């Protein structure tokens, strides 16, 4: 493939943000990226990149110029991910985006969550009691960060019990597939047929319970708010974007507390309202979703660099959330700061439609833990799970002291 050299003064980087060494520790790369300029050309992938808060925020907000409908991964997904027709939410823009978005906003909104709140708070208490009954040293990823969403979310969507172990590997592959076809994608490829077949089967009306998020999506089709063809793809969005994201968000906040004892002491003393701020601060600090691509719909100049019409731009949410131009001591996890304005959930019309679900899961788990746990520390080295898009954990061994 040939590329015209990008016009006017783009800094050029030969680095590979999807290289395994960078994925393992992306902070040095991100710091170089921010230093190199507002817009940097990544010649390895022939795409532009932004890592500073102001420009990332502006690009996320300007969907007319930085479209999602051409795909939010590196590739033209129509060619490289035939197993996954485009999402009606993530990979669409107005006007097509509007009706599906409005339906999910309602299905996952505050009134729907108010109904789940009491039972999720209780579920978190039960889970924490179970974990602590089996000992005070355990893997915080498997036992809490993954266990809690898997306990409450699939039931809330309304899918059957069988096959739920497919949810995490499916999401892992979806988020890998936004990046290049590197070793992570190659490793996931053999199971993609089986996993997407199972996920697609969970989206049909007959297999869904009649009171969950899934049923409410189908009811929106009955009302004519969306079409019957759209309904299963919207259920697929919940199953794609609702599990790995929250698992890694919870892992992020648990790792943050296990490594910041003073912050846990603050939470422990004042769990309401600090549990909610703590989660958003962890989403800022760790940015479970690190990157998304957009595509320029016209020639656009950003910070003195011309991005030509049709080119892909890689937006580094994680880097924007650690930009010292925007955040004081950005690398500090501090639950007393105001993290609002972080772009860890995105920004603008595509901003995470499930963020209230994620916040409720976190509030339930953190308040249940804070009630019983006086302090939490690492009991051994924590291990990353590498993913092209997610900042993920394989294992976080912790030791807790009960009050």
Cβ 94 to ligand OVM, closest distance in Å? 16
**Which residues 135-174 are close enough to bind ligand OVM by CB under 6 A?**
174
Closest CA to 16 of 34, 39, 43: 43
Among 10, 23, 70, 89, binds ligand OVM (CB under 6 A): 89
**Which residues 169-198 are close enough to bind ligand OVM by CB under 6 A?**
174
Cβ 182 to ligand OVM, closest distance in Å? 18
Contact of 150 with 243, CB cutoff 8 Å: yes
Cβ closest to ligand OVM, residue 30 vs residue 389: 389
Cβ closest to ligand OVM, residue 237 vs residue 305: 237
User: The sheet that has 373-378: what strands, in order across it?
Assistant: 137-139, 397-402, 373-378
According to the binding rule CB under 6 A, does residue 90 interact with ligand OVM? yes
Among 67, 230, 237, 248, binds ligand OVM (CB under 6 A): 237
According to the binding rule CB under 6 A, does residue 240 interact with ligand OVM? yes
Closest CA to 284 of 221, 353, 344: 344
Among 177, 241, 274, 343, binds ligand OVM (CB under 6 A): 241
Cβ closest to ligand OVM, residue 260 vs residue 350: 350
What distances in angstroms separate CA 220 from CA 87, 88, 225, 234, one per listed residue?
17, 15, 5, 11
Cβ 241 to ligand OVM, closest distance in Å? 3
According to the binding rule CB under 6 A, does residue 87 interact with ligand OVM? yes
Q: How far is residue 107's CA from residue 130's CA, in Å, rounded to a whole number? A: 31
Contact of 303 with 325, CB cutoff 8 Å: no
Helix axes 230-241, 98-107, angle to 10 degrees: 60
Cβ closest to ligand OVM, residue 157 vs residue 258: 157
According to the binding rule CB under 6 A, does residue 290 interact with ligand OVM? no
Binding site for ligand OVM (CB under 6 A): 87, 89-90, 174, 236-237, 240-241, 289
């Amino acid at each position: 493939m040939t590329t015209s050299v990008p016009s006017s003064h783009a800094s050029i980087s030969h680095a590979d943000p999807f290289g395994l060494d960078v994925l393992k520790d992306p902070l040095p790369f991100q710091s170089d990226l921010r230093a190199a300029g507002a817009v940097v050309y990544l010649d390895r992938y022939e795409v532009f990149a932004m890592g500073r808060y102001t420009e990332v925020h502006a690009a996320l907000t300007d969907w007319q110029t930085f479209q999602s409908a051409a795909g939010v991964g590196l590739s033209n997904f129509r060619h490289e991910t035939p197993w996954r027709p485009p999402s009606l939410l993530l990979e669409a823009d107005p006007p097509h985006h509007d009706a599906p978005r409005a339906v999910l906003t309602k299905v996952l909104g505050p009134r729907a969550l108010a109904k789940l709140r009491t039972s999720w708070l209780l579920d978190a208490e039960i889970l924490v009691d179970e974990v602590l009954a089996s000992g005070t040293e355990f893997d915080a990823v498997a036992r809490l960060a993954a266990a809690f969403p898997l306990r409450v979310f699939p039931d809330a969507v309304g899918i059957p019990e069988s096959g739920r172990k497919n949810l995490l590997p499916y999401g892992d592959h979806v988020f890998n597939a936004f990046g290049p076809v590197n070793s992570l994608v190659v490793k996931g490829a053999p199971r993609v047929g089986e996993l997407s077949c199972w996920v697609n089967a969970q989206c049909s009306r007959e297999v869904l319970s009649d009171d969950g998020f899934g049923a409410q999506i189908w009811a929106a089709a009955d009302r004519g708010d969306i079409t019957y063809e759209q309904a299963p793809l919207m259920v697929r969005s919940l199953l794609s974007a609702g599990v790995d994201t929250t698992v890694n968000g919870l892992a992020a906040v648990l790792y943050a507390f296990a490594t910041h004892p003073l912050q846990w002491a603050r939470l422990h003393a004042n769990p309401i309202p600090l549990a909610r701020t703590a989660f958003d601060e962890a989403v800022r600090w760790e940015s479970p979703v690190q990157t998304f691509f957009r595509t320029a719909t016209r020639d656009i100049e950003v910070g003195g660099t011309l991005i030509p019409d049709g080119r892909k731009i890689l937006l580094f949410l994680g880097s924007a959330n650690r930009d010292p131009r925007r955040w004081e001591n950005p690398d500090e996890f501090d639950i007393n700061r105001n993290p609002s304005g972080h772009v860890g959930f995105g920004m603008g019309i595509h901003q995470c439609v499930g963020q209230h679900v994620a916040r409720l899961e976190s509030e339930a788990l953190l308040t249940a833990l804070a009630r019983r746990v006086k302090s939490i520390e690492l009991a051994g080295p924590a291990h990353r799970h590498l993913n092209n898009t997610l900042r993920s954990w394989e294992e976080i061994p912790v030791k807790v002291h009960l009050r």
